């Protein structure tokens, strides 16, 4: 067995839920994103970086993920990844082709073991970065609950070339595809669902100012601010108008592939969970909302 073709980086994701497109005002006025494109029942939002969009809102009867969006370095790497996945017998959803959406580019989709759609795109229409203080730059990471955390983590590593950065006891595994400590993290759960999505601010000062901006409109964190052990990143969690957990973060640990060794972080040592000791443990209500609603994904596409 040869090594898999590695995924380039995380671009963001598109969420789906009933009436979610109507919540765009929260993300633009409060959260700090900008409108990139809008269609019938769909809203796409950009950060201050070069990505055409980092977060999408799509009206649906289902609560969950429409697709997780990854970058590939070029068309040749995209074709190589597609060929690799086909050889492995994975649920590839068509051949690589030009995308006809506003972001353009070239790519394809595949289903992960929990039937989530993963979209790989090269040559997307890059945007000029925006100079804006205390506005999210990018989606740092997506955390997913799974009834088969170990199996799904193994799939991401063996099939897409992710690497394990760290573990949180036996309850979480942090996976990277680029230098960020984690782009995908998996939590041991009862069913597939969204745990949370993290938006990165460029600095700790901008992280705190973003919390302040939210406070000025009467919205306070449901957990945080604090600073995680795994990933070394500050955190402040909120609940979105659609009931999804979203996070402000900054200063995510950058991994040196030559020297980094994964470790197991204990969950029963408070300063290992929150280095600042400001947030405390998540409440039962916070844990419940991070457990999320069951997301069936797209099993019907696997059968085609």
For the cut 80, the answer to whether the pLDDT of residue 104 exceeds it is yes
Which region holds residue 213: left if phi is over 0, alpha if psi is between -120 and 50, else beta? Answer: alpha
Share of the chain above pLDDT 70, in %: 99
pLDDT for res 303: 74
pLDDT for res 11: 98
For the cut 80, the answer to whether the pLDDT of residue 1 exceeds it is no
Can you tell me the distance from the alpha carbon of 228 to that of 209, in angstroms, rounded to the nearest whole number? 19
Mean local confidence (pLDDT), 288-297 = 97
For the cut 60, the answer to whether the pLDDT of residue 110 exceeds it is yes
Contact 20, 187 (CB under 8 A): no
Can you tell me the distance from the alpha carbon of 248 to that of 105, in angstroms, rounded to the nearest whole number? 29
Structure tokens given for 219: 């919205």
Distances (CA, A) of 154 to 150, 158, 293: 6, 6, 24
CA nearest neighbour of 66 among 187, 238, 242 = 242
Contact 7, 70 (CB under 8 A): yes
Give one DSSP letter per residue of 68-136, joined into a string.
Answer: EEEE-SSHHHHHHHHHHHHHTT--B-S--EE--STT--EEEEEE-TT--EEEEEES---------TT--
Contact 195, 292 (CB under 8 A): yes
Q: Which helix (H) or strand (E) holds 66?
A: strand 64-71
Q: Residue 101 burial (CB < 10 Å; 0-12/13-18/19+)?
A: middle
pLDDT for res 237: 98
Confidence class for position 2, pLDDT limits 50, 70, 90? confident
The model carries a pTM of: 0.97
pLDDT for res 115: 98
CA nearest neighbour of 81 among 178, 184, 6 = 6
Instruction: Indicate the Cα dihedral angle 9, 15, 20, 24, nearest 10°.
Output: 0
Distance of CA 276 to the CA centre of its chain: 24
Strands 163-168 and 264-265, bridge-based pairing: parallel
Can you tell me the distance from the alpha carbon of 249 to that of 51, in angstroms, rounded to the nearest whole number? 18
Confidence class for position 50, pLDDT limits 50, 70, 90? very high
pLDDT tens digit string along 112-170?
999 999 999 999 999 999 999 999 999 999 999 999 999 999 999 999 999 999 999 99
For the cut 90, the answer to whether the pLDDT of residue 67 exceeds it is yes
Can you tell me the distance from the alpha carbon of 304 to that of 300, in angstroms, rounded to the nearest whole number? 7
Can you tell me whether residue 211 is helix, strand or coil?
A: helix
């Amino acid at each position: 067995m040869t090594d898999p073709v590695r995924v380039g980086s995380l671009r963001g994701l598109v969420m789906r839920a009933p009436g979610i497109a109507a919540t765009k005002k929260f993300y633009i006025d409060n959260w700090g994103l900008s409108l990139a494109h809008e269609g019938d029942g769909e809203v796409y939002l950009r950060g201050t970086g070069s990505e055409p969009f980092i977060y999408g809102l799509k009206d649906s009867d289902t609560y969950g993920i429409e697709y997780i969006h990854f970058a590939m370095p070029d068309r040749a790497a995209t074709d190589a990844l597609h060929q690799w996945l086909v050889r492995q017998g994975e649920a590839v959803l068509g051949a690589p082709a030009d995308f006809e959406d506003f972001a353009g580019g070239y790519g394809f989709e595949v289903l992960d073991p929990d039937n989530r759609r993963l979209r790989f795109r090269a040559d997307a229409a890059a945007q000029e970065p925006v100079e804006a203080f205390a506005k999210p730059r990018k989606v740092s990471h997506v955390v997913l609950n799974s009834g088969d955390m170990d199996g799904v983590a193994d799939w991401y590593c063996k099939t897409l070339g992710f690497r394990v950065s760290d573990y949180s006891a036996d309850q979480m595994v942090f996976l990277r595809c680029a230098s960020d400590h984690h782009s995908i993290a998996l939590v041991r759960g009862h069913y597939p669902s969204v745990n949370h999505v993290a938006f990165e601010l460029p600095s700790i000062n901008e992280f705190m100012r973003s919390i302040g901006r939210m406070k000025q409109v009467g919205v306070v964190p449901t957990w945080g601010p604090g600073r995680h052990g795994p990933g070394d990143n500050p955190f402040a969690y909120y609940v979105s108008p659609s009931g999804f957990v979203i996070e402000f973060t900054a200063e995510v640990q950058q991994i040196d592939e030559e020297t980094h060794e994964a470790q197991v972080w204990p969950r029963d040592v408070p300063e290992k969970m929150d280095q600042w000791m400001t947030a405390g443990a998540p409440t039962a209500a916070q844990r419940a909302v991070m457990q999320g609603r069951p997301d069936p994904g797209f099993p019907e596409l696997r059968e085609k």
